[in-house]
Chain A
């Protein structure tokens, strides 16, 4: 997704996804057979990904983000909400904000302090927890629903397929930010509800991709062989069809995690996402907005940079992974 005004993950590159998706899917499935040297799909993907420096940088950013996030997720209950940070993120210290406008970055507070004298770095670090959780939980919700409905739709076809795909169409057509806003209004503010809202909306892209993949592999010989051996539908879908159609799903996961993080930030920016005392990058940006215009740039700048860098990491890695798994780009 490019701008968060509308979610790119849900947007077909051409209007004619089904045709293209199926063609690309067929190529993905056919690729291992065509390769002269027998390489496992993963080692082949890694070999190609390694050449893409931007993707590697993205992977590095994701790794740092995940490690910091996990540390904060674990530390949060153990430290009673303080997190593992240089300073207590919620400790107010008016000597560090003598005029009520915080203090600019210094050696002891590299990102400065906010209007209450709270350490920005510490707050930004605890906020990683929310971003990691929203990325994992919201995308997992969408993925699970998509991985159930997508294969059903593609494998059985007919009426079930029509119903599921028309439902997906409705979700694609619904203006994304508006949809999230309305679900948040129904559920009420709070970060768990943000996870739910983003999660509920995520299924359609996964379902559509998996369906296309299933369609393209279901008539392949190895699936027919499995069927001839008397394998059940469930076994065929989850043992034979899905494992061979996951590459585009992994790409979509990477992009969706980035998208979920931005959407949470946007909701918190609009004031209906994460509520105090929880810190979130989007919430920090909106809380400190007035201070930016009053001259205290550091309060808004650092959370913005962290948010942008993290999203860049996922987009960069996602694009790299797409190229690395795209059989049309093989040398």
Chain B
């Protein structure tokens, strides 16, 4: 177990190293001279050169990378080119909204578990067909399309019909204790983006849960349990459920990891402050330190979520061995 964790951590650092190098190379070859952009339109060549030296942009890429990596290892992600703020503090500022959104979306997507189990237990019934068809259709809706229509319908039309403003179109509210909406308005501003992400994931999760449950109830040990004369309720509840749900939980865990790194499209559609929008705007401004730091943050969260999911899987399912 310990050797496994050590090996995974080692692999993980190779991955993070690779991701940061790829990011750095991309930022380096993006057309345009950051020093010139920073200096403004009417800057003199001397001024541009001064900024170039000041930001270390005159050095070759491997020196710049080395300097950045040295900073990262000491917990310093550098400073934004445009906002007089450190990248670390920008992440700390934006993370709560993203964490809140990710948690809410994953909570919603877990509704797919009972739906999928119900479908599987009544395979080929009317409700199974309906649910499965609906799941595949919803799964096919691009998240930005759903977001746009949620905004239009619940943010705009509903308000016009009812005459009261329930869901704000964009933005996010204040939080207490980092991730808990501090007010009714704040909670309402979370609903549309969370449901947008969550509904699509519900479709996916329920489809996967159905498949997983179908596989389990066809397995030999379930046949044995039935042959022993166990009540169907016990067969399903005690023997099948756990093994069918665990693999789907790992999907939810990985989703959480991915969403914690920022849901770029959803956050952009809803103009909702968060890690995704922060990186998206930084890309628009060519704000290299923010992009590099943001990508690193998102990747770290994702790969560690994956690691925890694998460890958790092994912990609850003794059939899984973690040797390789």
Report which A residues bind B (CB closer than 8 A): 2-6, 8, 11, 13-16, 18-19, 54, 166-167, 169-170, 173-175, 177-178, 181-183, 185-186, 188, 258, 262, 265-266, 269-270, 285, 289, 292-293, 297, 300, 304, 307-309, 311-313, 315-316, 319, 328-329
Contacts and interface: CB of A to CB of B under 8 A. Distances in A.
A289 B169 CA distance: 13
B110 interface: no
Contacts, number: 165
Nearest to B29: A186
B61 to A, nearest CB: 14
Contact of A15 (B29, B299, B306): B306
Contacts of B255: 6
Interface in B5-24: 11, 14-16, 18-19, 22-23
A174 B19 contact: yes
Nearest to A166: B14
A265 B320 CA distance: 39
Pick from A173, A300, A311, A329 the residue with the most CB of B within 10 Å: A173
Q: How large is the interface on B (under 10, 10 to 19, 20 to 34, 35 or more residues)?
A: 35 or more
B53 interface: no
Contacts of A181: 264, 280, 283
A2 B200 contact: yes
Nearest to B145: A304
A181 B268 CA distance: 13
Contacts of A297: 152
Given A4-B265, A307-B142, A308-B141, A166 B18 contact: yes
Contacts of A173: 15-16, 19, 299, 302-303, 306
State the 9 A-B residue pairs at the shortest beta-carbon distance, nearest first.
A2-B204, A312-B140, A170-B18, A15-B310, A311-B140, A6-B258, A3-B200, A3-B143, A304-B145
A292 B30 contact: no
Given A3-B143, A181-B280, A182-B291, A175 B261 contact: yes
B11 A166 contact: yes
Interface string B280-324: 100100100001001100110011001001100100000010001
Interface in B98-147: 132-133, 136-137, 139-145
B240 interface: no
23 contacts: A2-B139, A2-B200, A2-B203, A2-B204, A3-B204, A4-B142, A11-B251, A170-B22, A173-B302, A174-B19, A174-B22, A177-B264, A178-B298, A181-B280, A182-B23, A186-B30, A265-B142, A265-B144, A285-B144, A285-B145, A308-B137, A308-B141, A329-B215
Nearest to B299: A173
B208 interface: yes
Nearest to A172: B15
A15 B133 contact: no
Contact of B136 (A54, A178, A186): A54
A181 B142 CA distance: 17
A13 B251 contact: yes
Interface of B: 11, 14-16, 18-19, 22-23, 26-27, 29-31, 132-133, 136-137, 139-145, 148-149, 151-152, 156, 197, 200-201, 203-204, 207-208, 214-215, 247, 250-251, 254-255, 258-259, 261-266, 268, 279-280, 283, 286, 291, 294-295, 298-299, 302-303, 306, 309-310, 313, 320, 324
Identify whether the interface residues of A are mostly helix, strand, loop, or mixed: helix
B68 to A, nearest CB: 16
A5 B279 contact: no
A11 B302 CA distance: 11
A15 B313 contact: yes
Contacts of B26: 182-183, 185-186
A293 B269 CA distance: 13
Contact of B254 (A15, A54, A178): A15
B15 A5 contact: no
Contact of B15 (A15, A169, A311): A169
Interface centre among A3, A266, A297, A329 (most CB of B within 10 A): A3
B152 A293 contact: yes
B310 A5 contact: no
B264 A293 contact: no
A177 B279 CA distance: 11
A292 B142 contact: no
A185 B251 contact: no
A174 B201 contact: no
Contacts of B143: 3-5
A179 B167 CA distance: 32
Contacts of B320: 16
B196 to A, nearest CB: 9
A64 B201 CA distance: 28
Contacts of A13: 208, 247, 250-251
Contacts of A169: 11, 14-15, 18
A170 B208 CA distance: 26
Given A170-B19, A269-B144, A309-B140, A304 B149 contact: yes
Given A5-B259, A292-B152, 6 more contacts: A2-B204, A6-B255, A173-B303, A312-B140, A315-B139, A319-B207
